[in-house]
Every structure is written in C-alpha cells, then in structure tokens.
Structure 1
Amino acid sequence: MHIDLVDRDIYANAGPPHDQLAWLRANSPVHWHEGEPGFWAVTRYEDVVHVSRHSDLFSSHRKLALFDDLPEDQIALQRLMMLNQDPPEHTRRRSLVNRGFTPRTIGALEQHIRDICDDLLDKLTGEIDFVTEVAAPLPLYVICELLGAPAADRDKLFNWSNRMIGAQDPDYAASPEEGSGAAMEVYAYANQLAAQRKANPKNDIVTKLLQPDEHGETLGEDEFDLFVLLLVVAGNETTRNAASGGMLALFDHPDQWNRLVADPTLAKTAADEIVRWVSPVNLFRRTSTTDQVLGGQEIKENDKVVVFYSAANRDPSVFPDAETFDISRDPNPHIGFGGGGAHFCLGNHLAKLELRVLFEQLARRHPRLRRTGEVRRLRSNFINGIKELPVTIG
C-alpha cells in the first residue's frame, strides 16, 4: 500500500486516511515514513501510550510537539509553551495552571454551559451551518467565561484560532506569517487581560493564575501569554471539531442518533465515543532522546517520532468492534486527550462536559435535526477539523 500520512489534501478530502493507518497498525506499527525529514509513524495503541508516558525517552522539548520543523529561533520561543516542555519544567508549569482546571472547578461550570447551549439552540431555525452556529461558539463562550473576558470577544478568539491552526488552509490563512501575526495578537490580548486583573482581581481563572501558589510560585509574563495562547487554540479547536465531527458521525449512523434521542442520558458515554471516533487531534510529534527500540524498530537519538491518535483509537486489540460507532461504549479507554503521561489534556474534563451537555440538549430539543449539504473539511494533517456542516432544524 502507498503510504502518505502527510499530504494535507488527503485530509481535506476525506479526513484521516484510516485505510492507511489500519494497514500500518496491522503490518508496520512503527513505520519509517519517507519525507524531509523522514519520521517514525506510530499507530498501535500500546506504542502510542508508551511514547506518551515516557517524556524522558521521547521529548516534546528538543524539536517541539507539532509536526512541522521550525527554524531554531522560533523553536526557542515555542519552548516556553507547556505543550513543548518536558519534566521537570513542564511539571512546575502544569502545577501552576492545574489550579484552574480541577474537576470541582470545571463541574461548577455545568449550569453555565447548559445556559450557553440553550441560548445557542434557541436561535436556531431553518437551514444553518452547524460549525459556525453551534460547534464553534460553544467553546468560545466557555473560554471567554474562563478568562473573564466579554462574550463579544469570541469572534476575535475564533479568528485568531483559525489563523494559527489553519495556516495551510486557504480559507483561513495565506501564509504561516499570518499565523504568527495571530499569535502576537493573542499575546497582546493576554497582556491586557493580565494588567486588568492585577488592577482589579475577579473570580476567574486569569486572576487565579496570576496569584502565587502555596509555594509562592507564579507564572512569568511570557508563560502567562503562552498559556492563554494554548487555551485559545486547544480549548477551542478540540471541542469545536469533536462537536462537529460527532454530529457528522451521528448523521452517518442514524441508528445511534435515534438511540440518543430516545435516551439523552446516553450523552455521557456518547461524549467519549465521539472523541474516540473523531480524534480531533490527529497526531503529535516527539523526538527520541536516545538510541532505543520501539515496536521492534531501532530508533536513533534525535529521530522524529510521530504518534497517530486516529489510528490508536481504532486499535482492535483494545476496542472491540473498533470500526463501529457505539454511543454506549463502556469502558472506553480512548486516548483522544493524549496517551497519558505529562501531556495528558489539561482540559479533558471541560471538553467532555461541553460535549455531554451539547448532545444531550440537541437530542432533547432538536430530535429531527438532519444534514442537508456537503461537509467541508480543514486542510490539516494535525487537526481533524470540519469547516462547514449544513443542517436543517426540523
């Protein structure tokens, strides 16, 4: 089989190449993928988890966690972001920001998220684009709430996130420089937020993160700016694309939509199955810190190693009937939020809460929702994204 896991046009046309990923998982689970530079493609669940949980062997810091290789000066700046750090520095930073994402803190947002969903659904009528009218606004409203920012800022956050993630998509950015420009605008926005909270503290995550922890540790200015950048992208893109991809999966599997309509409490397990099935983040990159063996392959120090969550989440050795979309799947040990270890998704509780409430309310309030047009996908091998999903409110 011809293997090309990089070509963004493949993803734009049909989403992740599941046929290639399945072949690799069965025949060459740690596969040398030609390219400039070449890389090891890791597709089996067991191996993806191993890479994820051993930051000492597979570094996010050396060459960053994103797929594309950057110039050394850009790498130096990006290393300030948690996403691109290894323990112990990552551990210190994570302990500071964890304060805003405890299960108790996130659980307290449920009624607010329910109100946001109801407000969004109240406005739906006729034919709409599910992405721009439902999937995108929900996490943006929630991020504004977390940041203590006015809801009117959500359009700015949406624009910044699109420009940073969609640099290779003609609808969102003409060049990587535009993505860098969006990042600089987020930094300025974060600085403004920090100045406002230092002058007038509020009961929000920004105020909490700017205060010293129990050990007197605080986030530096660059650290705070980069955290806001990560929140704007990660907190928006994953939930937005899980929601739109989940809605598409329910349209493609009408029996599952009918089950959800009949019993909206299934939204709790449906949220996890949607994340497994969609895998909104397709891949992350690591760099081998030593000569080692993975999946029977000899990997050299500094080799590029790329884990594919879209493949691991359909590994039949872990998921019975892995190619079946089942909203009642339980247990569901998917790794749509990462394979564990230092970089397990900070916002996983928040994302699952948003998805659970959204699909519960959709099933209750719009049981006759139906798809009425072609899906348009994001041209990205990183984010499994949907740009447009036309639907009609029944």
Structure 2
Amino acid sequence: MTAAAVDLSDFALWRNGFPDDLFADLRRDNPLFRHDLTPGVADTVRRQFWVATKHRHAVRLHRDTESFTAADGPLIQPVAMFSSSPTIITLDPPELNKRRKLISNAFNPRAIAKLEAGIRARAATMIDGLLAKSGGDWIDDVADALPMTVIGDIIGIPDEDRPRIFDVFDRILKALAPETRPSGHVELELFAEVFTYAMELTAEKRRNPTDDIWSTLATAVITGDDGEQFRLPENELEFFFFVLAFAGSDTTKNALAIGLQALVANPEQIERYRDDETVRSSAVEEVLRWASPVAYWTRTAKVDVQMDGQRIPAGDRVVSMLRSANRDEDVFPSPFTFDIGRQPNPHVAFGGGGAHHCLGAMLARAELRAVLDELLLRCGDIAIGPAKVAYPNLTTNMSIYDEMAISLTER
C-alpha cells in the first residue's frame, strides 16, 4: 500500500477498532511515512505528521530525548492546555526526572508488593459480586472499579469523590473525538472541573497531610536550576492530578476489557491459564501486548532527524503507533495469535522505555494478575456480550469502554 493512498482521518477506518490489517500492510510497504494534509486531516489535527509503525520506531521515539521532545503532548494535534503548562507527560529530562522522583517511591517494587494483598482482596470481592448475580457489567463491576479504587487510594482521593471525578475523565476523552464532540466549550469546562477539584484536594492535603501521593505533591519543595526552592505551581499540580488519576485508571480498564475479549475468543488459552501456573505471569504481558491500551503516542522532532533513511525536519510531529509496534512481525512471531505463553514479549504497551516509561507499569501488572487469577481460576462458563465502546482514532489515542455484559458460574 502506498502512503499516498492512506487517509487516517477517515473515521470509517477506526469504527470497528484499530485498523490492524491496514497497519500490517503499512509495516510491510511504508513503515515510516509523512501523512498528507488531506481535507480530513486539516479538519481534525490540522497539520501533517509522520506515521511510525514499527517496534524499533517506538523504542527510539521514547528513548531518544536528544532528538525528540514530549513538549507538545501525546496526541497528534497538540492540546493547548498540555502545551501551555509543564506536566509529567510533556516535560523532558532533567526537569521530568525531578517530578518523577517525587512520586516514584509509591510505584517501586517494594511499594507494589505491599499493595498486592489488598489488590487481590478487592479483586476477589468484585468477582464475588459477579458470582452472586451469575454475571453483571464487566466494565462497571470490575474493569473500571478496581483501578479506580486502587489509584484513588494511592493518590488520596476520598471514596465519595471518585465516581464523579473518574466519570469526567471518560467525558474528556469523548470530547476530544470529533464524532462524539459536544458543542460549545464543554471540553474546557470538563478540564476546569478536574482542575478545580485538584486544587481543593491540594488545600485539604496541605491542611491535613496523610500517607498518599497527593499529600507528598501538595507539600513538595523543588530546587530549580538557579538553586531557588519552590513549591509546584498551581497549573502543574492541576495537570499532575489529571495525568496520575487518568493514566492510573483508564489504561488498566482498557487492558481488562480488551484482555477479557481476547480470552473469551480463545478459550483454549483460558484452560491453559488454569492448568499451567508457569504461564500466568506471561499471560499478563500478552494481555498488555494484545490490548495496547494506549494506541499511539506522539513526539516532536527537536532537530532534523534521520530515521529509516528519511529526514524528519525539526518541528515535525511523529506518531508512534504502539499497537502496530506490538504486532511487528520482525519482533513478534505470529503477532496476530493471542498466546499467553509468549516469550520473549518485549511489548511497548508502557511506551518504548526511557525517561517517560510508565511509572504505574508494575501496578497495572499487579491489578491484571489479580483479576485474571480471580476470574479464570474461580469462574467457569464465562461469556460476554457486545461492548459499548468508542474506539481510538486520529484525535484520541484510547478506547472508551462503557459497558460489557458478562455471565459466569462458579467452577
């Protein structure tokens, strides 16, 4: 397939999910190309951009901070609010490292090990609830509920505030997609609702600090390059809250939704999980590869860059198609086979490594493992209905799962 024949602004390509067949053709024929400014692109992301489809591209784009910057945000069209304020996803080293250091202890192996028993207990309770009714809504009852509860505890969001705040995140995703974009300034109003709440929480944690991330950030003091010390400014705290809460919930929710669909479509893999304890850790990695909860991530060239023999001019946007990278035939044998015993499995579901590698990777793994164990080892006759879902497209890089009926019995 020629690059000139591709118009990724055609929403029909994305209507049934990520266009895997199209990207398989692109990996073979045009693995890296500059997307033309078609009328659809002009209407949606408003600029030309490069499409990077291979695993090697994802790794370089995430690790080469000398050549590529995160400053314009992860979406193809820079979101003004991301571009105007420093955040943990738009800063580059060394400033990025200072922010990550503030919260990294909450996500290190020792911290996650302390959380695992609680995560498993919550997952067990949620599966108990499904078994009591012989089913329910996989999204509301488990895929949304577990990560929302866990990241809410880590950040320090009061229980009573969580449903409202996490619902706003889904509404923001929908607002970014032209097919579901509401009228007027709803997108700005939704961000404002989150930011207002973040500052209310900041004030409360400064008055009454507790053992959670937000108390740490609300009271943190950073030393600047000039030696001056300062607290994180209000706009940075607002985005810090958004990124932590959103990334810590919706990405895992997507992995749990897409992972369950893959397992039900491959019942022999469910039996394998039950019968062979040695594949359970690798099953988590295969769910992450298969789901690729974040479909793509974007960088901007800081300087003129050579990649695959092509010159990417400084200032150009380069889109790393992570889901395509996770189906790269040069890295993953039989990439369209869902294989829970796959090893090695160097997926880029958490990015391609480097300074921006997902802080919550170990937390997500712990949540996935707990749910898979509780569901697959305790439940039988697992069946699901069609999902109510809005898929990623050129303007939003994640699916939005609202409903997925599940029925099951006790084994």
TM-score, normalization by structure 2: 0.88
Q: Which of residues 385, 389, 392 in structure 2 aligns to 1:380?
A: 392
CA distance in structure 2 between the aligned counterparts of 1:322 and 1:141, rounded to whole angstroms: 33
Closer/same/farther in 2, CA of residues 223 and 57 from structure 1, 3 Å limit: same
Aligned to 2:226: none
- Unaligned runs of 5+ residues in structure 2 are 224-228
CA distance in structure 1 between the aligned counterparts of 2:366 and 2:146, rounded to whole angstroms: 11
Q: Which of residues 104, 108, 119 in structure 1 aligns to 2:114?
A: 108
CA distance in structure 1 between the aligned counterparts of 2:222 and 2:202, rounded to whole angstroms: 20
Shift of 1:8: 4.0
Contact 1:168–1:380 (CA under 8 A) maintained in structure 2: no
Closer/same/farther in 2, CA of residues 313 and 272 from structure 1, 3 Å limit: same
Closer/same/farther in 2, CA of residues 148 and 75 from structure 1, 3 Å limit: closer
Shift of 1:366: 1.5
CA distance in structure 1 between the aligned counterparts of 2:184 and 2:35, rounded to whole angstroms: 24
CA distance in structure 1 between the aligned counterparts of 2:230 and 2:107, rounded to whole angstroms: 17
CA distance in structure 2 between the aligned counterparts of 1:254 and 1:176, rounded to whole angstroms: 46
1:4 maps to a residue whose letter is: D
Question: SS of the counterpart of 2:288?
Answer: helix
2:7 maps to a residue whose letter is: D
CA distance in structure 2 between the aligned counterparts of 1:126 and 1:392, rounded to whole angstroms: 6
Question: SS of the counterpart of 1:317?
Answer: coil
Contact 1:96–1:219 (CA under 8 A) maintained in structure 2: no
Question: SS of the counterpart of 1:367?
Answer: strand
Aligned to 2:245: 232
Matches within 5 A, 1:109-258: 109-124=115-130, 125-168=133-176, 174-175=182-183, 177-212=185-220, 218-258=231-271
The count of aligned residue pairs is 388
Question: SS of the counterpart of 2:315?
Answer: coil
The CA deviation string for residues 188-238 of structure 1, in whole angstroms up to 9 with x for no partner, is 222222222222221222223334479777533332221111012111111
Shift of 1:172: 7.1
Q: Which of residues 20, 32, 35 in structure 2 aligns to 1:33?
A: 35
Contact 1:163–1:178 (CA under 8 A) maintained in structure 2: no
The CA deviation string for residues 364-386 of structure 1, in whole angstroms up to 9 with x for no partner, is 22122112x22333143211443
The CA deviation string for residues 266-324 of structure 1, in whole angstroms up to 9 with x for no partner, is 43211111110110101111111122211121211111111000111111211122221
Whether 2:79 is the aligned partner of 1:64: answer no
Shift of 1:176: 7.8
2:322 maps to a residue whose letter is: Y
Contact 1:114–1:358 (CA under 8 A) maintained in structure 2: yes
Q: Which of residues 355, 361, 369 in structure 2 aligns to 1:356?
A: 369
2:392 maps to a residue whose letter is: S
Question: SS of the counterpart of 2:318?
Answer: strand
Contact 1:168–1:174 (CA under 8 A) maintained in structure 2: no
Q: Which of residues 284, 292, 315 in structure 2 aligns to 1:271?
A: 284
Shift of 1:67: 1.7
Contact 1:168–1:176 (CA under 8 A) maintained in structure 2: no
CA distance in structure 1 between the aligned counterparts of 2:127 and 2:143, rounded to whole angstroms: 11
CA distance in structure 1 between the aligned counterparts of 2:324 and 2:400, rounded to whole angstroms: 16
Q: Which of residues 383, 391, 394 in structure 1 aligns to 2:406?
A: 391
Matches within 5 A, 1:77-92: 77=84, 79-92=85-98
Q: More displaced, 166-175 or 262-271? A: 166-175
Closer/same/farther in 2, CA of residues 264 and 9 from structure 1, 3 Å limit: farther
Whether 2:62 is the aligned partner of 1:49: answer no
CA distance in structure 1 between the aligned counterparts of 2:173 and 2:217, rounded to whole angstroms: 25
Closer/same/farther in 2, CA of residues 338 and 51 from structure 1, 3 Å limit: same
1:91 maps to a residue whose letter is: N
Tell me which stretches of 4 or more aligned residues in structure 1 moved more than 6 Å.
213-217
Question: SS of the counterpart of 2:380?
Answer: coil
Q: Percent identity at matched positions?
A: 35
Contact 2:63–2:353 (CA under 8 A) maintained in structure 1: yes
Q: More displaced, 47-56 or 276-285? A: 47-56
Whether 2:349 is the aligned partner of 1:346: answer no
Closer/same/farther in 2, CA of residues 220 and 142 from structure 1, 3 Å limit: same
CA distance in structure 2 between the aligned counterparts of 1:242 and 1:356, rounded to whole angstroms: 11
1:133 maps to a residue whose letter is: D
CA distance in structure 2 between the aligned counterparts of 1:70 and 1:212, rounded to whole angstroms: 27
Closer/same/farther in 2, CA of residues 133 and 6 from structure 1, 3 Å limit: farther
Whether 2:283 is the aligned partner of 1:283: answer no
Q: More displaced, 231-240 or 147-156? A: 147-156
